[in-house]
Structure 1
Amino acid sequence: MVGLGSLTNTFLNNALYYCDGNPILMPLFQVTAVSSEMTYSMLSKINIGSSPQSRFDKYVLDYKKAYSQISDSKKIAIVTGANSGIGTITTKALGLAGFHVIMACRSKEQTEDAISKLKLETDLDCFEFMELDLASFASINTFIKNFKKSYDKLHLLVNNAGVMMCPYAKTKDGLEMQFGTNHVGHFILTNGLVDTLKASAPARVVVLSSVAHYGGSYDKEIITDEKLYNKVKNYGTSKLANIMFANELSRRLSGTGVTVNSLHPGSINTNLSRHIDPSASSVFTPVFNVMKDTLLLSPLAGTLTSVMVALSPELEGVTGKYFAHEGEANVLSEALDEAKCKDLWNFTEELIKKHSTK
């Protein structure tokens, strides 16, 4: 049973915020940085402006109008984690826009089921499964090799997959699961495909981060020390690393015709109760359920920023930016620190070298 005094003290010093569909007690000083998320979600709920479906359709149509006359050849896209949620809806948008989409996922069965549904919804045969486990260096390198055997072009890479706020676990190569999958896995994948992206320019890399990056910090001890593991803090750190990686990659690819941008997709309406401490469940669940229905986006609405950054002709040539709510947004200052971004890059290469020998 949770004491009233404890609850009161908790809420006096913190504020409840939904991060990617999960309730988090966030320190009050951080809330101002993310409060626009709630405002946007509520406006979307009461249909201020055009509907999510109409905006989805417009992004697809605008892309087709702008690029359909440029080349007769099929454009190639890769979407990681494409067999569920935001990944599947993003894949659908790309297919409708004229891409052949490689759905890079772990589960063949789940992905083939998603492909069947996409074919029924779109009447298109442009979706293809390729196995990829971002928690395995070997799997990532095999994916890169297999992709390059089949394709010599890549016009769009959407780094969508990730794990969130899981109990402590390690990747197959011994890295903390969230950092290893969300950042390191995509780091290896993207760098392994950079030459193909350059050869296909103009090309785009889209990196999904999260508003949760505000709760992270670039701290090597947090990343490497199991004793310091906190599933929320470490998740935020992995999402901060996504932005720092995107910003550094955009600088390294300057002038190549390959743009790199990161984004917060939107807090999606999911089953929240599994993340609530059982001892507090009876107290908080009714509140969570009310806030969930009011503040969280539908999967379609939550996908719009991903679709915009991937397809919008207005973003041609735009690079090194962070987007949220279908517009450019602010980030934690660490993500803009060029020295720290370079250090993260070097640190990531060191981790890969160290763990590749295990």
Structure 2
Amino acid sequence: MTATTTPQRKIDSGFGARTTAAEVLRGIDLTGTLALVTGGYSGLGLETTRALVGAGARVLVAGRRPEEARRVLGGLDRVEIAELDLADLDSVARFADTFLASGRALPLVINNAGIMAAPETRVGPGWEAQFATNHLGHFALVNRIWPAIARAGGARVVSVSSVGHHHSPIRWHDPHFAEGYDKWKAYGQAKTANVLFAGWLDRLGRASGVRAFSLHPGGILTPLQRHMELAEMVEYGWVDAEGNALNPDFKSPEQGAATQVWAATSPALDGLGGAYCEDCDIADAEQVREYALDPEQAERLWSLSAELTGVNAFAAR
């Protein structure tokens, strides 16, 4: 048994690795639909915001740099901007309280923001920053705004993971790397957490009509690589000495944003949930590590996350 409640195999969506976010939305009318996109003003988040607005949605962009978001998104209609620092649980609480006070339902949530391969950084009570930002912050966010998500009826929550989850399972003995830091293992653990989170949220949320998905967007050159040295990316064969892309499998940002937009909106996913997606389709099982689909680990991570953040919308009352 896996944490996913939908078979982990392709459904032949008709799309692929080169599909763009705008293309997956062709024929889909999101007029009147509110979508929350964390980090929706940079990289894949920016392309996600543009595509959703193009389909008629109203997009609430939440991020650490609201002034930069206003500068970047100033020409787009139907965009709201709010401050949200996922590494700061007080910031998450302020954002959630403000949103809930608006009384609005929230049918689409795309947990897009994240950091990758960051130097060792501690946030909050000494938490490792990649795990805290990429997972714990989004965990607290979704649990705090859960009443608005559940009230929407048929909502979807999308958790942007990565093939980077292959680098590490959850390090139950040392999730915050007190015993020695490795930036890629830390990133891998955080991305595994994104998959496990979506799988368990889907199980918990089905009774409210809420479904969740995780995904690998593909290889894309975006500001996500800001913590990496040029020489490191050259060594990996990603770019040349001038920083130009070399890997023919890399996607454009418009293509990279497509899978999260597809997971959030595709009618082909109606009635499905919990699966890990790639290239605008559910991924085959061999593309995702077994530990990322393990229901026992998913439930254990949920309990740990609730303990660390002090938030759990599904706690027994």
TM norm structure 2: 0.84
Structure 1 segments of 4+ aligned residues over 6 angstroms from their partners: 271-274
Does the aligned pair in 2 maintain the 1:221–1:228 contact within 8 Å?
no
Q: Paired residue for 2:292?
A: 335
* Structure 1 pair 285–264 and aligned structure 2 pair: CA distance change class (3 A): closer
Following TM superposition, by how much is the alpha carbon of 1:352 offset from its aligned partner in structure 2, in angstroms? 2.1
Higher helix share: 1
Letter in 2 for 1:297: K
CA distance in 2, matches of 1:317, 1:76: 20
Does the aligned pair in 1 maintain the 2:21–2:48 contact within 8 Å?
no
Please state whether the residue corresponding to 1:269 is helix, strand or coil: coil
Q: Paired residue for 1:301?
A: 255
Identity of aligned residues (%): 34
CA distance in 2, matches of 1:209, 1:90: 15
CA distance in 2, matches of 1:87, 1:291: 20
- 1:9-65 per-residue CA deviation (whole Å, 9 max, x = no partner) reads xxxxxxxxxxxxxxxxxxxxxxxxxxxxxxx86xx4xxxxxxx4xx5334223321x
Q: Paired residue for 1:105?
A: 63
Following TM superposition, by how much is the alpha carbon of 1:80 offset from its aligned partner in structure 2, in angstroms? 0.2
CA distance in 2, matches of 1:299, 1:277: 19
- 1:132-147, aligned counterparts within 5 Å? 132-147=84-99
CA distance in 1, matches of 2:138, 2:222: 25
Following TM superposition, by how much is the alpha carbon of 1:228 offset from its aligned partner in structure 2, in angstroms? 2.3
Unaligned runs of 5+ in 2: 1-15, 312-317
CA distance in 2, matches of 1:255, 1:182: 26
* Structure 1 pair 215–63 and aligned structure 2 pair: CA distance change class (3 A): same
Letter in 2 for 1:319: G
Please state whether the residue corresponding to 1:79 is helix, strand or coil: strand
Letter in 1 for 2:140: I
Q: Paired residue for 2:147?
A: 195
TM norm structure 1: 0.75
Does the aligned pair in 2 maintain the 1:78–1:104 contact within 8 Å?
yes
CA distance in 1, matches of 2:121, 2:37: 25
Please state whether the residue corresponding to 2:207 is helix, strand or coil: coil
Please state whether the residue corresponding to 2:28 is helix, strand or coil: helix
Following TM superposition, by how much is the alpha carbon of 1:284 offset from its aligned partner in structure 2, in angstroms? 3.7
> Which segment is superposed worse, 142-151 or 291-300?
291-300
Letter in 2 for 1:165: A
* Structure 1 pair 273–129 and aligned structure 2 pair: CA distance change class (3 A): closer
CA distance in 2, matches of 1:174, 1:91: 33
* Structure 1 pair 285–328 and aligned structure 2 pair: CA distance change class (3 A): closer
CA-atom RMSD in angstroms: 2.5
CA distance in 1, matches of 2:193, 2:104: 29
Q: Paired residue for 1:15?
A: none
Letter in 2 for 1:275: M
Match of 1:61 among 26, 33, 45: 26
Following TM superposition, by how much is the alpha carbon of 1:276 offset from its aligned partner in structure 2, in angstroms? 4.6
Q: Whose radius of gyration is greater, 1 or 2? A: 1
Letter in 1 for 2:281: G
Q: Paired residue for 1:346?
A: 303
Please state whether the residue corresponding to 1:228 is helix, strand or coil: coil
Q: Paired residue for 1:242?
A: 194
* Structure 1 pair 227–328 and aligned structure 2 pair: CA distance change class (3 A): same
* Structure 1 pair 277–221 and aligned structure 2 pair: CA distance change class (3 A): farther
Does the aligned pair in 2 maintain the 1:115–1:128 contact within 8 Å?
no
Letter in 1 for 2:63: C
Structure 1 residue 127 corresponds to structure 2 residue 79: yes
Q: Paired residue for 2:228?
A: 275
- 1:301-324 per-residue CA deviation (whole Å, 9 max, x = no partner) reads 111111111121111222111100
Please state whether the residue corresponding to 1:95 is helix, strand or coil: helix
Match of 1:219 among 146, 171, 178: 171
Unaligned runs of 5+ in 1: 1-39, 45-51, 69-73, 120-124
Does the aligned pair in 1 maintain the 2:44–2:253 contact within 8 Å?
yes
Q: Paired residue for 1:324?
A: 278
Q: Paired residue for 1:30?
A: none
Q: Paired residue for 1:20?
A: none
Structure 1 residue 87 corresponds to structure 2 residue 40: no
> Which segment is superposed worse, 224-233 or 173-182?
224-233
Structure 1 residue 172 corresponds to structure 2 residue 130: no
Higher relative contact order (CA 8 A, sep 6+): 2
CA distance in 1, matches of 2:26, 2:300: 40
Aligned pairs, how many? 289
Letter in 2 for 1:59: V
Letter in 1 for 2:139: F
Q: Paired residue for 1:209?
A: 161
* Structure 1 pair 102–286 and aligned structure 2 pair: CA distance change class (3 A): closer
CA distance in 2, matches of 1:256, 1:88: 29
CA distance in 2, matches of 1:134, 1:195: 19
Match of 2:265 among 286, 308, 311: 311
CA distance in 2, matches of 1:277, 1:91: 28
Letter in 2 for 1:315: L
Following TM superposition, by how much is the alpha carbon of 1:286 offset from its aligned partner in structure 2, in angstroms? 7.6
CA distance in 2, matches of 1:143, 1:300: 28
